[in-house]
Amino acid sequence: MAKSVNTTLIEQIDARIKELEESTCVKMTGFTGISYAAYKAVENEIAFLKHLKTMAKVLTFSKVFPKYHPKAGEPTYFVEQIMTSLMKYKKPHGLKEKHHTIRAGKRWKVGDKFSPRVWSGKPYASKQIIISPDFEVVKIWDFEMKPAAFWDECKYYINGILITDKHDFAKLAENDGLSPVDFALWFAGKNAMDTKRKSFSGQIICWSDDVQY
């Protein structure tokens, strides 16, 4: 549930693709002349940028709980859980499996690939470490959290459907590599006593075929 990086790069790529597509459209309508070679050059650049956009996606994972969490500074074991999730046989006994991550926004789709990474030191002030070859997104769900006065009263939705069963909520947290309490406190706000919590809207990005909601 760490932040996505390279968002600015992706926005720049999108802007360039739009610019090229619009200029090509104008030229194709006959308002200005364009040679076949020039048109193919633009077409090839658009194809390259779309490929680059896919390759530009990076997701970083937290090695420790965030500062606002009661477990601030303690290890999350997300890397180990992700590696266990990818194993098909002989999985370590007793270790949770992290099958997905939750991120703000709606920019992901099935078939996207991303590079999973962790920070070598302080987030956004140190080098990134690639923890695995690129992942392919196999499932996506919309996710939303609506705040309440108390952290344990917040409402959670998957594809617009309210989670009412505590076992379903526990499974969501487990698939994200957390206990139900740790999961709720991650979304609760700056701290467990904070009453100024903000709503959250994003996606569950899943790389495992085993997860069903």
Whether pTM > 0.85 for this model: the answer is no
pLDDT tens digits along 161-202: 999 999 999 999 999 999 999 999 998 765 555 556 788 999
In degrees, rounded to 5, the angle at the alpha carbon of residue 46 between the alpha carbons of residues 45 and 52 is 85
Q: Which amino acid, residue 10?
A: I
- Check residue 23 and give its pLDDT: 73
Supply the angle between the helices 180-188 and 166-175 in degrees, to the nearest 10.
80
pLDDT score recorded for residue 40: 78
Q: What is the pLDDT of residues 75-128, one digit of tens each?
A: 999 999 998 888 865 565 667 899 999 999 998 999 998 989 998 877 778 888
Per domain, the residue ranges of the chain are 4-55, 58-206
Q: What is the arrangement of strands in the sheet containing 161-162, beginning at the earlier edge strand?
A: 100-104, 200-206, 139-146, 155-158, 161-162
Q: Which residue has the higher pLDDT, 16 or 210?
A: 210
Q: Is 185 exposed, middle or buried (0-12, 13-18, 19+ CB in 10 A)?
A: buried
> What token pair was written down for 171?
């499974």
